[in-house]
Homo-oligomer: A and B are copies of this chain.
């Protein structure tokens, strides 16, 4: 099994790489080779029992995708994307990377032909949905994104399905929940606070909560996200049928429930590090975001997320903090 990860230098890409090295197999087959591609060449991790090659490649440049898939990987994770905020700020770049780059990749695979038909796992996003929503977004709810990023992801889903239907490859799209608790430094993404208010207090730092406690959102841990990717790599495409992109399971939690879970896991002192400071801009942005889903298809197909937000916090402490935190 030759595996290619595009967008391997990001948080998800790096964790997926680690998981593949640890497992040594994917989709029920041993891994022979792993190629890691990103705009800046990813660092090749140590300890793998298979060959790892890293490559700097910008798929939004015409011709680059052909080179990247020339050695016909059996399994391709396409994680590369300009994130929501940047795709909104830089219109051309968002369409170039998220739409053209994806299409160049899909076309490069198509043009190889000769029976080459890799599994492609494409990460979409709940940003394909735009308010107003039903209480829980079901599997047949329409996609009316309110950002250019969401638009580009929705287009990626459509092309993935059509190219799969035409037999050019075997694509599975997965709509990731907001990943929480996202490790690393606080960032300026509007969604950053969902992770900040857990990660920073557990590390002994203050965090700002810019919205009210009744804001509800859809979360899954980084560990679950990697689990979704691995499961999507091995899933039977026949069982998925022509509707190739699935909303992943997750935990619907209000900010109040997040804080209650933090209190239960880590105590009052930790919770006291959350400072409330309403930010009208973030309040407004978040009001347009999905709050809850009913992802029956992905659950039936065996995708699994956490059962509650407490579990999400415990996973963060286990995976990122070595099992401990600042009391």
- Residue numbers of A with Cβ under 8 A of B are 91, 130, 140-146, 148, 151, 154-155, 158-159, 161-162, 165-166, 242-243
The 14 listed contacts between A and B (C-beta, < 8 Å) are: A91-B166, A130-B242, A140-B142, A141-B142, A142-B143, A144-B243, A145-B161, A145-B162, A146-B242, A148-B166, A151-B158, A151-B159, A151-B162, A155-B159
Assembly CA distance A154 to B245 (angstroms): 15
Assembly CA distance A150 to B75 (angstroms): 28
Which one of B144, B158, B159, B242 contacts A161 once the chains associate, using CB atoms below 8 Å? B144
| Chain B residues within an 8 Å CB radius of A91 | 166
Assembly CA distance A158 to B129 (angstroms): 12
Assembly CA distance A162 to B148 (angstroms): 6
Q: Shortest CB–CB separation between residue A5 and chain B, in angstroms?
A: 26
Q: Shortest CB–CB separation between residue A167 and chain B, in angstroms?
A: 11
Q: Shortest CB–CB separation between residue A138 and chain B, in angstroms?
A: 9
| Chain B residues within an 8 Å CB radius of A166 | 91, 148
| Chain B residues within an 8 Å CB radius of A140 | 141-142
| Chain B residues within an 8 Å CB radius of A146 | 165, 242
Q: Shortest CB–CB separation between residue A250 and chain B, in angstroms?
A: 19
Assembly CA distance A143 to B145 (angstroms): 13
Q: Shortest CB–CB separation between residue A132 and chain B, in angstroms?
A: 10
Assembly CA distance A238 to B199 (angstroms): 42
Q: Please determine whether B161 and A151 come into contact, CB atoms closer than 8 angstroms.
A: yes
Assembly CA distance A1 to B158 (angstroms): 36
Known: A142-B140, A143-B143. A158 touches B162 (CB 8 A): no
Which one of B154, B165, B242, B243 contacts A158 once the chains associate, using CB atoms below 8 Å? B154
Kindly name the residue among A148, A159, A162, A242 whose own CB sees the greatest number of chain B CB atoms within 10 A: A162
